[in-house]
Amino acid sequence: MTTKVLIIDDDEAFVEILAEFLEDDGQIKVVDRVGSERDCQEWLACGKLESVDAVVLDLRLPFESGDKRTDSRIGLRILNSLRDTHRFFGPIIVLTNSRDSADGKEALGNGCDGYLCKHAPADQVPVMVNELKMALLGDVVIVSRELRHVFFRDDVSAKEAKLMDLLSQDRSWSEIAQALGYKSSKAAANVGDRIFDKILTEEDRRRLVNNGVKKRDLALEVWRARHRS
């Protein structure tokens, strides 16, 4: 299945290169690109978000196309709008200009799944893009910290904890979606799968391979033992 991605970034040259890299093996399709807060507002108002599985969002954006002034608060506003107003719970990876970006870390606290440093050395661009592709596809990225360009939130939010608690009570994905405001049971299940990846350690994952344990069952076991004991 192809993962459909929206890119929100005003750097047209960067977006062109990024889209080419992301689409090279057919797993990801960039379905649209917008470059300002106003363009994004208009795009969202048209109801196009329903066709998107994941978002790449530059934090520093102009309010209008052609405006040379950019502000990281615009990216954070769009992030909050996607999560809180439009109830989008697919992967959102934000773009920053620095490995130690305070804006990126703030975005982690506001609901994004990770942040990507745009300005990697040329020889590390393939590594960076591969990590981004894995993140957009919802896979776990296990890379040494020295090489990592995509930084992930490693805490469990209050909403994620509620999802795991409901799952522990044998609630269906449909019931969880209704209780937590997800668009569909599939959306809830996708969020659940990302939480599983977040709480399972490398040792836990070896159990999945060696013992044939189901991922959901193991994640619930880990949740009850380590997070709710």
Residues 9-37: pLDDT tens digits?
A: 998 888 888 888 888 888 889 999 999 99
Examine the domain organization and report whether 58 and 139 are in the same domain: yes
3-state SS of the chain is CCEEEEEECCCHHHHHHHHHHHCCCCCEEEEEEECCHHHHHHHHHCCHHHHCCEEEEECCECCCCCCCCCEHHHHHHHHHHHHHHCCCCCCEEEEECCCCCHHHHHHHHCCCCEEEECCCCHHHHHHHHHHHHHHHCCCCCCCCCCCCCEEECCCCCHHHHHHHHHHHCCCCHHHHHHHHCCCCHHHHHHHHHHHHHHHCCHHHHHHHHHHCCCHHHHHHHHHHHHHCC
For residue 38, what pLDDT is reported? 94
Mean pLDDT of 71-91: 88
Examine the domain organization and report whether 163 and 130 are in the same domain: no
What confidence category does residue 133 fall into, taking pLDDT thresholds of 50, 70 and 90?
confident
For residue 115, what pLDDT is reported? 75
Number of structural domains in the chain: 2
| Final residue in a domain of this structure, among 105, 130, 152 | 152
Residue 193, domain extent: 158-227
Q: What global pTM score does this model have?
A: 0.63
Examine the domain organization and report whether 148 and 203 are in the same domain: no
Examine the domain organization and report whether 146 and 40 are in the same domain: yes
Residues 153-171: pLDDT tens digits?
A: 556 777 888 899 999 999 9
Mean pLDDT of 169-187: 88
Examine the domain organization and report whether 163 and 144 are in the same domain: no
More reliable by pLDDT, 3 or 226: 3
For residue 2, what pLDDT is reported? 84
Examine the domain organization and report whether 88 and 136 are in the same domain: yes
Mean pLDDT of 205-229: 83
More reliable by pLDDT, 113 or 168: 168
Q: Is the pLDDT of residue 98 over 80?
A: no
The Cβ of residue 203 has, within 10 Å, a number of other Cβ atoms equal to 7
Among residues of the chain, what percentage have pLDDT more than 70?
85
Examine the domain organization and report whether 65 and 35 are in the same domain: yes
